[in-house]
Amino acid sequence: MNRCLPLVLVLLLVCFAAVADGLEQGIRAYRGGNYAAAFTYWKPIAEAGNADAQVYLGWLYSRGLGVEKDYAASAGWYRRAAEQGDPNAQYELGLLYELGQGIAADYSEAEHWYGLAVDQGFCPGELSASGRLDQD
């Protein structure tokens, strides 16, 4: 048996714990109205590929919370999460395509992303990040 395996497993657990902690700290900051701090917690996690953090950054950018409103940046973050299969991001990206916010309006693309989200059980009445962030 490889003697490095236990060390690798410990390191992986530490990394997963750090990501979960950063996500939770960001959620607490968001709920407390400190959107800039939430952004600071989530950005490195999103850049590392975490779909939840990517959705949260898309949410902040699309609403101008803690950052300047930037639909193009929002679309970029939603796309990264949507391509990982996150139904909330797929819905939000579809909405940006439908409205032509941050990306050129494209109803075919909007329908594509909406369809992927709905196929996973997403209900359009449930707003993605707000639903996640406002839960107790």
Mean pLDDT of the chain: 85
In the chain, the amino acid numbered 31 is: R
Cβ proximity of 23 and 43 under 8 Å: no
User: Mutual orientation of helices 51-63 and 5-31 as an angle, nearest 10°?
Assistant: 20
The answer to whether 56 and 133 have CB atoms below 8 angstroms apart is yes
Residue span of the structural domain in which 30 resides: 5-133
Beta-carbon contacts of residue 98 (< 8 Å; ≥ 6 apart) = 105, 107, 110
> Tens of pLDDT along 78-94?
999 999 999 999 999 99
Specify the number of domains making up the chain.
1
pLDDT of residue 22: 86
* Spans of the chain below 50 pLDDT: 7-18, 136
**Of 61, 116, 125, whose CA–CA distance to 83 is shortest?**
116
pLDDT of residue 123: 83
What pLDDT sits at residue 13?
39
Full-model pTM: 0.81
Task: Give which of 101, 133, 129, 97 is closest to 113, Cα–Cα.
Answer: 97
For residue 77, the domain's CATH number is 1.25.40.10
Closest to 132 (Cα-Cα) out of 52, 67, 74:
52
